[in-house]
């Protein structure tokens, strides 16, 4: 009989805890636009954790990959604040550095809890952590990616990184300068003009043995306001580049680059959502340590390997994900 009452008590406790989250509201503020691959992954991670929790979710997109001018940034940040005022969420999750800079910083020390996700910069750049702000860092597996590349092309000795000139890229480049790598790091180049991008890719063909790709989503043709579709930039790059390349974001390899040990946007989103659940249960953000998922996913694009006449060693086939 006592066991029966204990089981009933445990069941009631589970129901009560579940109901405590039901009816809560969470606003997701994304730095980029809804069709951006990284945003899609982050969203999947959050929604998987929130599934069947009774939490109301709304989304706001800053769209700062396609729109990069300062006037857009100011206006869209004001719109985000307006959305927060209207929706009155219990927690706000901000995704990636631009949302941290444009939105979360405005709320430091205020009552509304914030959880950041996918942050490339060190937290103190934005004044985090704060009493009401904690979250998840994004840290890239560059050394591991180069190690994987060397298993495919053992004789590479020198590489360069090319990326766009977005805020995200600048934070990323600041973070990697001065680090030690398995091969010589030549230089990192941040470029927003498509003609300059083409010129640099062609120039690197005789300067280095390999190229690292980060992001290429704010690149524009001269005189145009909107950024080019990233698929167009990557397609040209892979067609023109004859060197082996590595990438550190999952979608770049799935879209055609050779290899890399990549981050998972869904893992970032999942971790941020788990922190949010703890806050909805009554925990203070200041009592929740900032997290950094360590897991990286090694990927090789078999089609690209064939294009570059690179044979994938059999002894690593069971240790990597092969895509085409």
Q: Domain ranges in the chain?
A: 23-138+265-287, 142-262+297-323
Q: What are phi and psi of 258, to 5 degrees?
A: -70, -55
Tokens of 173: 């480049």
Minimum mean pLDDT among 47-56, 176-185, 195-204: which range? Answer: 176-185
pLDDT band at 156 (very low <50, low <70, confident <90, very high): very high
* Residue 15 vs residue 302, higher pLDDT: 302
Instruction: Say how many C-beta atoms besides its own lie within 10 A of residue 130's C-beta.
Output: 18
pTM: 0.80
Summarised one tens digit per residue, pLDDT across range 221-230 is: 998 989 999 9
CA 155 to CA 141: how far, in whole Å?
A: 21
- Check residue 21 and give its pLDDT: 66
- Check residue 294 and give its pLDDT: 73
In whole angstroms, how far apart are CA 7 and each of 3, 21, 22, 115, 177?
6, 22, 23, 35, 57
CA 230 to CA 46: how far, in whole Å?
A: 24
Compute the mean pLDDT over every residue in the chain, rounded to the nearest whole number: 92
- Fold exhibited by the domain 23-138+265-287: Rossmann fold (3.40.50)
pLDDT band at 295 (very low <50, low <70, confident <90, very high): confident
Share of the chain above pLDDT 70, in %: 93
CA 272 to CA 53: how far, in whole Å?
A: 15
CATH of region 142-262+297-323: 3.40.50.2300
CA 98 to CA 92: how far, in whole Å?
A: 15
In whole angstroms, how far apart are CA 81 and each of 77, 102, 104, 106, 125?
6, 10, 10, 9, 21
Instruction: Say how many C-beta atoms besides its own lie within 10 A of residue 74's C-beta.
Output: 11
Q: Hey, is 78 helix, strand or coil?
A: helix
Q: What is the DSSP string of 247-267?
A: ESBHHHHHTT--EEEEB-HHH
Tokens of 134: 């904690």
Q: Is the pLDDT of residue 19 over 50?
A: no
pLDDT band at 8 (very low <50, low <70, confident <90, very high): low
- Check residue 16 and give its pLDDT: 47
CA 56 to CA 79: how far, in whole Å?
A: 20
CA 103 to CA 61: how far, in whole Å?
A: 12
- Check residue 12 and give its pLDDT: 45
23-138+265-287 and 142-262+297-323 agree in CATH topology: yes
Q: Is the pLDDT of residue 179 over 90?
A: no
Instruction: Say how many C-beta atoms besides its own lie within 10 A of residue 182's C-beta.
Output: 16
Taking CA 46 as the corner, what is the angle to CA 104 and CA 275, rounded to the nearest 5 degrees?
Answer: 60
């Amino acid at each position: 009989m006592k066991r029966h009452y204990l089981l009933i008590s445990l069941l009631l406790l589970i129901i009560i805890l579940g109901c405590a989250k039901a009816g809560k509201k969470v606003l997701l503020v994304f730095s980029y636009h809804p069709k951006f691959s990284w945003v899609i992954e982050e969203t999947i991670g959050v929604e998987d954790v929130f599934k069947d929790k009774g939490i109301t979710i709304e989304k706001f997109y800053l769209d700062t990959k396609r729109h990069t001018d300062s006037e857009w940034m100011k206006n869209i940040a004001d719109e985000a604040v307006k959305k927060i005022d209207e929706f009155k969420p219990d927690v706000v999750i901000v995704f990636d550095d631009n949302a941290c800079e444009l939105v979360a910083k405005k709320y430091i020390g205020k009552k509304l809890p914030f959880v950041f996700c996918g942050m490339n910069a060190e937290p103190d750049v934005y004044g985090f952590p704060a009493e009401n702000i904690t979250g998840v860092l994004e840290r890239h597996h560059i050394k591991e990616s180069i190690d994987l590349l060397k298993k495919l092309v053992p004789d590479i000795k020198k590489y360069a990184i090319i990326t766009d000139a977005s805020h995200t890229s600048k934070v990323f480049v600041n973070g990697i300068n001065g680090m030690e790598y398995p091969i010589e790091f030549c230089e990192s180049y941040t470029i927003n003009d498509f003609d300059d991008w083409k010129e640099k890719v062609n120039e690197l063909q005789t300067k280095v043995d390999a190229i690292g790709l980060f992001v290429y989503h704010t690149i524009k043709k001269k005189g145009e306001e909107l950024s080019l579709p990233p698929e167009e930039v990557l397609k040209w790059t892979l067609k023109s580049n004859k060197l082996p390349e590595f990438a550190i974001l999952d979608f770049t390899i799935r879209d055609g680059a050779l290899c890399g040990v990549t981050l998972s946007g869904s893992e970032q989103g999942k971790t941020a959502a788990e922190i949010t659940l703890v806050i909805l249960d009554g925990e203070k953000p200041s009592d929740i340590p900032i997290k950094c998922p360590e897991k990286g996913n090694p990927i090789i694009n078999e089609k690209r390997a064939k294009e570059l006449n690179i044979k994938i060693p059999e002894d690593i086939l069971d240790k990597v994900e092969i895509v085409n």
